[in-house]
Amino acid sequence: MIHKFRELYSNQTSEVKGLAKDIFWSVFGSVSSKVLNFIAWILIARILGKDGYGEYGLIRNTVMMFSAFASFGLGITGTKFIAQYLESDSLKASRIASLTMSFAAFMGIIVTIVSFTFSDLIADKTLKSPYLVNDFRIASFILLMSALNGAQTGILFGLKQFKTDAKINIINALISFPVFVTGAYFYGVRGSIIAYTITNFTLCVQYQMAIKSLVQRKVISLNLREGLKEWRLLYIFSLPAALSGLIIMPVKWCSDVMLVNTAGFSAMGIYSAALIVNTIVVVAANTLNAPFIAFMSNSKTHDNLIEKLNVLMPWFLGVMIGLPFLCFPEIGSYLFGKEYEGEIFDRTLVFVILFMVIIMYKQGMSRIFVTQNMQWVNLLDNVLWGVFLLSSFYYLKCYASVGLAISYCLAYIMVTMVMYPVYIKKRWMPLEFVVSKNVLIVWSMISALIGLSFISVSWIIRIPIYLLGCFVVILTFKSMLNSNIKYNILEKHSSQVKQAE
């Protein structure tokens, strides 16, 4: 087996070999760190209980909402354009790095001040929980560090420093694990928020040290005045990227607030705990973003295998990780403790896993739109998704956490049904990825497993069904990977790459 992988690797072009190394380090760093984070989040959920974890989850999601404003799409801007110009125009790449860092600091400071100022309004008036005001104020300081982190990772990824990023992520996970658990155990929700702030600060310091080292080695230079020469990128590329985030996070936050105001923090705790699995998988899959975007932005050739992997790999990852939770949803209650045990948590987890798989199904196309400067397509996609989510949950909020999870599923399904026919008509994606025997097999199997989770079936029966499902998924994705269908999406739109120049 190892010999076959070596032979396959040796037969690839230098570009593909470089992409493989980048993916390895990106995935290795993310998986290694996220395993520790996953364990820490489970322990925090058990320590705080449903109500406490619901409070912590909503505060964290509020920070993420404001982070969408603060980050302004600067991370993805840095990754794409630094990688695109690093070899052909290193001075331009340095100016872009300078622009993203300086504007991230500016946006971070502004949003931090706004969040701190309106913390009492959010906690008291919106959530009717005035006792959380100081927790929201502490969390406000995360926003500056989050904005800087986004720009810093964008620079490192654009420079293809994936090994450096992997080391930083592992070190920060080793720091954050004891900090989070200690904070939650001794100081409850506030201790968890303080731990969240500390770990973001240590991450920011490590990233800045790495960038400083690259500047000293003259890999790149940072100059604020020079960076301002590239300000047009802010509205050509960063603005639509930022607007996409500005739609997603406030919509998510509004749905969270609707859940809390309807069913309380206990329901939010159940949903937040179920969402941990989703978050881990999505974040892990997002590690593929930087290597693929950096490669596709800088590549002068169009490799059909790479374009297939870009589209199929995240979906395969999502399905394979989702299968055990669809077959054995009670795993979640075993992980989080007896307080989360029951049908409500199991149902919530099943639907959370379903929309996670749909997200993974769509992720490859989102990356293509990024590399082709088609962020406005992602923006339209997110606008429709936001409308569908809030509309669905308005009618399903009486079902609490299960209703919210179902609403997410419906929103992703509806936006896919609306947008994907357009993608096919415009020839932005192959028909095989939407309507084909292989795709139907995967979705039919997932639907059957969801139906199976709603009836009482012995583990003795479900174990062979799970193993059969894994076998079918592997064969199906192998068939799609080996098909003669051309995924030459980049070739069709390569003329748009120079649009931002």
Query: What are the pLDDT digits (tens) for 235-293?
Result: 677 676 667 667 787 888 889 989 998 998 999 999 988 888 777 777 666 665 556 65
| Tokens found for residue 349 | 């987890």
- If pLDDT is split at 50, 70 and 90, which confidence band does 488 have? low
Average pLDDT over residues 408-431: 83
Geometric angle at alpha carbon 127, from 181 and 399, rounded to 5°: 85
- State the Cα–Cα distance between residues 278 and 408, nearest whole angstrom: 12
If 0-12 CB within 10 Å is exposed, 13-18 middle and 19+ buried, where does residue 5 land?
Answer: exposed
In sequence order, the 6+-apart residues with CB closer than 8 A to the CB of 138 are 190, 193, 194, 197
Residue 4 lies in a domain: no
Q: Dihedrals φ, ψ of 31, to 5°? A: -65, -45
Q: Can you give the pLDDT at residue 480? A: 83
- If pLDDT is split at 50, 70 and 90, which confidence band does 21 have? low
Distances (CA, A) of 92 to 241, 299, 452: 21, 18, 55
Residue 265 lies in a domain: yes
| Tokens found for residue 89 | 């125009």
- State the Cα–Cα distance between residues 230 and 226, nearest whole angstrom: 8
- State the Cα–Cα distance between residues 142 and 112, nearest whole angstrom: 8
Residue 450 lies in a domain: yes
**HEC string for 432-456:** HHCCCHHHHHHHHHHHHHHHHHCCC
Q: Can you give the pLDDT at residue 22? A: 60
Residue 198 lies in a domain: yes
**Polymer length of the chain:** 501
Token pair 């308005």: residue: 394
Residue 348 lies in a domain: yes
Residue 1 lies in a domain: no
Residue 464 lies in a domain: yes
CB atoms within 10 A of CB 424: 15
- If pLDDT is split at 50, 70 and 90, which confidence band does 481 have? confident
Number of domains in the chain: 1
Q: Can you give the pLDDT at residue 128? A: 80
Q: Residue 345 pLDDT more than 50? A: yes
Q: Residue 494 pLDDT more than 50? A: no
Q: Residue 145 pLDDT more than 60? A: yes
| Tokens found for residue 325 | 């939770």
Q: Residue 17 pLDDT more than 70? A: no
Q: Can you give the pLDDT at residue 288? A: 59
Q: Which of 84-88, 279-283, 480-484 has the lowest mean pLDDT?
A: 279-283
Q: Which of 165-169, 183-187, 207-211, 299-303 has the lowest mean pLDDT?
A: 299-303
The number of C-alpha atoms within 13 Å of 163 and in the hemisphere containing its C-beta is 4
- Between 239 and 214, where is the model more confident? 214
**Cα R_g (the chain), whole angstroms:** 22
Average pLDDT over residues 292-300: 57
CA 355 to chain centre: 13
CB atoms within 10 A of CB 305: 11
- State the Cα–Cα distance between residues 155 and 207, nearest whole angstrom: 10
| Tokens found for residue 308 | 């297939």
Average pLDDT over residues 470-478: 89
Residue 5 lies in a domain: no
pLDDT tens digits, residue range 25-80? 666 666 677 778 888 888 998 899 888 988 998 888 888 888 877 777 788 788 87
Q: Can you give the pLDDT at residue 500? A: 40
Containing H/E element for 17?
helix 14-71
Q: Can you give the pLDDT at residue 340? A: 83
Average pLDDT over residues 471-492: 74
The rounded mean pLDDT for the chain is: 81
Q: Which of 136-150, 210-224, 276-290, 451-465 has the lowest mean pLDDT?
A: 276-290
Q: What is the pTM of this model?
A: 0.77
Q: Can you give the pLDDT at residue 247? A: 77
For residue 252, the enclosing domain spans 12-500
Q: Residue 132 pLDDT more than 80? A: yes
CB atoms within 10 A of CB 426: 11
Q: Can you give the pLDDT at residue 1? A: 38
- Between 232 and 180, where is the model more confident? 180
- If pLDDT is split at 50, 70 and 90, which confidence band does 23 have? low
